[in-house]
Amino acid sequence: MTQPLDPQAAPDLPQSEPPRPGLRSRLRLHVHNLVHTHIDKSTWRIRLVAIGFACLFGVIGGRLVYFGFKPEPQTLRRAASEAVSRPRPQILDRNGEVLATDIKVMSVFAEPRRIIDKDEAVEMLTAVLPDVNAKELRERLGSRKGFVWIKRGIKPKEQEEVFRLGLPGVGFLPENKRVYPNGPLAAHVLGFTNVDNIGIAGMEKHIDGMGLNDLTMAGFRLDPADLKPVRLSLDLRVTHAVRDELIKGIERYKAKAGAAAILDVNTGEIIALASLPDYDPNNPSDALEPMHINRMNVGVYEMGSTFKAISIAMALEANKVTLNSRVDARDSLRYGKFTIHDFHAQHRILSVPEVFTYSSNVGTARMALMVGVEGHKAFLRKIGQLDRLRTELPESAEPLIPRRWGELNTITIAFGQGLNVAPLQAMMAVGALSNGGQLINPTFLKRSEEEARANAPQVVRPEVSEAMRYLMRLNAEKGSARTVDIRGYYVGGKTGTADKIIRGRYAKDRVFTTFMAIAPSDKPRYLFLTLMDEPQALPETHGYRTAAWNSGAVTGKIIERVANMLNLPPRLDLPTQPFPLLAKLGYGYVNTPFKGN
Amino acid sequence: MIRYLNVLSVAALVAPAIFAYSIKYETMRYSAEIVKLQHSIERENDRIIMLRAEWAHLTRPGRIQALADRHLDMQSVNVDQIVKAADLPERAVRIDAIGRKLELLGLAEPTATPNDKRAGATTPTSGR
């Protein structure tokens, strides 16, 4: 076996022997070539290297471009900053009291991708946070998102317990939470926010509309310190006093609901607003109940006899009557098959002031007919009663106007039936009738008188405005508004009682009462409005449920209580020349007091 | 000579390096401190806001009214109780009855101080 092997191996060896030195010398040559430059060979090698580098840089460059165009991967920080509720500016009242502010609360979040055992995590978390829905949480943790909330706004104790669980992928983030320290006070004006701190209603929504939302949507991170607080026109203490008196009044007269507001007639600022029943904006789900609407702004009502002020001002403005004119109120007014009666029928010819103080439907209707249907419509439009009143509050209501407006409509609207307006709208009109004739749009933000008057249209002449103040004052001294004649403040007022429409007919036993009061009547500053839905007659009110007995009484209490806070100094002596313009026009009698105050 | 120069140059090299390092570490320490302070400022601010909200909640008019009704027997201000500043009477001239009596008795004159013999040294007029 070895013999044949040898000859076989022998020719192999000499064959393999000779290349070895050749290979070695070739290797040496290669190494030599690497070290020594040969002009003839280096060109292609340099090219090769250049191409290699070009490829390398090309790859790097391409990669950079690719990364540049690729959407940034959602990092945790980014996802969190998007999910965390944003800061909002504080809301202050006109004196700087806090109405709404942000506080920091902790919220628990999870990164589902980093949670190892999801079922165990759900079990442990729901044990510590019992109000978290286990099934829902399991679903959320099962999602492919990088960031999910577990619970927002937890208590420090809960935070500690969750921390003790030591779950990976579960963390905490500080968030802003809106709080309203005054509870239901001014709730209807403030509105509320959702869990992401975005305004849903009221001024909160208005603030977002003013650009805050756009900024945060565009990705700007707002520093809470940079947000300028929003100053409202409301006065917190006055609002409380108004609400408190209204609560007492509603309880006393067993009314279904009520509302009250104070308007600065010279600036259009709403100083106080309360609408009952109300809700706590810290618990915004209550706000959605239909009973909790803002009756000043969102409800529309027939304002009843308070509208007579507008009708008489219209007749005076159109020069159809003067304060000395007489109007026939001997009998009921017949129109077609309808008859208009007076509640306090006098059955005689009344002077214009008497029409107002006796609240004569017939007299007012006759005056409106003198102006005519078109004139009536035009005046109501001019004074803002036929269009939707827009304030800062996003909630508003369109007035209910009769579709076909004939003479009968003019007759009924003249004494406040057949036209439903928002009470705030009526306040704006009466404010214009008393402040010298300028229609100033109400506002919930602080404003100066110059600013308010700059763009306010003149809707009635100053002397008409003064005549209206005289009539209101007269009405408080010897007319239907006597309940509001608070000593020292020279108050004027007008009552309004409207029968409610139940199933298309006016119900005799259910009324909607309104009361407007102006103080002081000679140099008006504030207009008070109180309204009550279905107040009941009481033995103390001698079985009456008309406005003077309920809304009027409440208004009187409100004025007495807040006059000091509103910086209205009491005057025990009556002003000697309260109505100078009228005296100059020859109605000197308006300045003589009717009775001792 | 050259050796000294070498040593010197090495020293000149090492010294600024040490200096630069120390500055760098100091900067790091300060910046950490700044971050810490900023965090504590933020925390304080949050607490201030929280306390303000709490204050507003505790001093809300409804609560104050309930407390006042329970613990104080105050009444609402009557119109007659409000007076304008201009209506206040002039302030009466202050009469020092005791001082006048002393003056009449001739006791109001300054007395010489026994201890201080210098000219013009007196005790204060008030007192004795």
Domain-embedded: residue B119? no
How many angstroms away from the CA of B7 is the closest CA of chain A?
40
Question: What's the pLDDT tens digit per position in A62-74?
Answer: 999 998 887 765 6
A305 is annotated as an active-site residue: yes
Quick check: is B11 in a domain? yes
The answer as to whether B62 is a domain residue is: yes
B61 has a chain A CB within 8 A of its CB: yes
Asked if A97 reaches chain B (Cβ–Cβ under 8 Å), the answer is yes
What pLDDT is attached to residue A10? 45
Query: In this complex, is the C-beta atom of A488 within 8 Å of any C-beta atom belonging to chain B?
Result: yes
The answer to whether A388 and A439 have CB atoms below 8 angstroms apart is no
Total domains, chain B: 1
Active-site entry in A85, A233, A275, A305: A305
Residue B10 lies in a domain: yes
pLDDT digits (tens, 9 = 90+) for A83-138: 777 788 889 999 989 999 988 888 888 888 888 888 888 888 888 888 888 888 88
- Beta carbons of B76 and A561 less than 8 Å apart: yes
For chain A, give the longest Cα–Cα distance.
Answer: 160
A182: chain B residues, CB-CB within 8 Å:
56-57, 60-62
Does residue B107 sit within a domain? Answer: no
Domains and CATH numbers, chain A: 103-130+144-179 (3.90.1310.10), 238-510+547-591 (3.40.710.10)
Length of chain B: 128
Cα-based angle A364, A396, A285 (whole degrees, multiple of 5): 130
Q: Per-residue pLDDT tens for A254-274?
A: 999 999 999 999 999 999 999
pLDDT at res. A37: 59
Is the Cα torsion angle A104, A109, A114, A120 positive or negative in sign?
positive
Q: Running DSSP on this structure, what letter comes out for residue A578? A: S
**Are B76 and A225 in contact (CB < 8 Å)?**
no
pLDDT of residue A57: 96
Predicted local distance difference test score (pLDDT) of residue A589: 77
CB contact under 8 A, B61 and A240: yes
Contact B46 A104 (CB under 8 A): yes
Report pTM: 0.77
Domain presence at residue B102? no
**Lowest model confidence (mean pLDDT) among A439-448, A462-471, A490-499, B105-114:** B105-114
Query: Phi and psi (nearest 5°) for A496?
Result: -155, 125
Establish if B43 touches chain A: CB-CB under 8 angstroms: no
Banded model confidence at residue A13, pLDDT cuts 50, 70, 90? very low
Interface check for A98 against chain B (CB to CB < 8 A): the answer is yes
Scanning A275-346, the segments in alpha helix (DSSP H) are 306-317
In terms of CA atoms, which chain B residue is nearest residue A177? B50
Q: What does the pLDDT read at residue A30? A: 75
With CA atoms as reference, the chain A residue closest to B76 would be: A561
pLDDT at residue A14 is higher than 60: no
Buried b (16+ CB within 10 A) or exposed e, A94-124: beebbbbbbbbbbbbbbbbeebeebeebbeb
Q: Exposed (0-12), middle (13-18) or buried (19+): which is B3, by Cβ within 10 Å? A: exposed
Kindly list the residues from chain B whose CB atom is less than 8 angstroms away from the CB atom of residue A486.
79
C-alpha to C-alpha distance for A280 and B62, rounded to whole angstroms: 14
> Would you state the pLDDT for residue A310?
92
CB pair distance less than 8 Å for B56 and A183: no
Q: Buried (b) or exposed (e) across A225-261, using 16+ Cβ within 10 A?
A: eebeebbbbbbbbbbbbbbbbbbebbebbebbbbbbb
Residue B68 lies in a domain: yes
- Window 64-93 of B: residues touching A by CB (8 A cutoff) are 65, 76-77, 79-80, 82, 84
pLDDT under 50: residue ranges of chain B = 126-128
Q: Which residues numbered 177-196 in A keep a CB inside 8 Å of some CB on B?
A: 179, 181-183, 185
Residue A7 scores a pLDDT above 90: no
pLDDT score at B128: 42
Task: Summarize pLDDT for A392-412 with one digit per residue, the tens.
Answer: 888 888 899 888 888 888 998
Per the prediction, chain A carries an average pLDDT of 84
Closest approach of A488 to chain B, Cα-based (Å)? 7
Q: Which residues from chain A sit within 8 angstroms of residue B76, using beta carbons? A: 560-561
pLDDT tens digit sequence for A192-249: 888 888 888 889 989 888 766 666 656 555 565 667 888 999 999 999 999 999 999 9
- SS3 category, A571: coil
Using a CB–CB cutoff of 8 Å, tell me whether A312 touches chain B: no
Cα(A116)–Cα(A118) distance, rounded to whole angstroms?
Answer: 6
End-to-end CA distance of chain B: 92
From chain A, the residues in CB contact with B84 under 8 A are 569
Residue B83 lies in a domain: no
- Band of the pLDDT at A564, cuts 50, 70, 90? confident
C-alpha closest to that of A353 among A434, A465, A473, A463: A473
CA distances from B26 to A73, B31, B38 (A): 36, 8, 18
Q: Which of A330, A322, A413 is nearest to A364 (CA)?
A: A413
Which range marks the domain in which residue B29 is found? 2-75
Please write the tens of the pLDDT for every residue from A583-592: 887 777 777 7
Within 10 Å of residue A437's Cβ, how many Cβ atoms? Answer: 21
Average the pLDDT over A344-366 and give the result. Answer: 87
State the Cα–Cα distance between residues A182 and A99, nearest whole angstrom. 7
Instruction: For residue A154, list its beta bridge partners.
Output: A106
Q: What is the pLDDT of residue B115?
A: 63
Q: pLDDT tens digits for A519-546? A: 888 889 999 999 999 888 887 777 777 7
Q: What is the pLDDT of residues A150-207, one digit of tens each?
A: 888 888 888 888 889 888 888 888 888 889 999 899 999 998 888 888 888 889 989 8
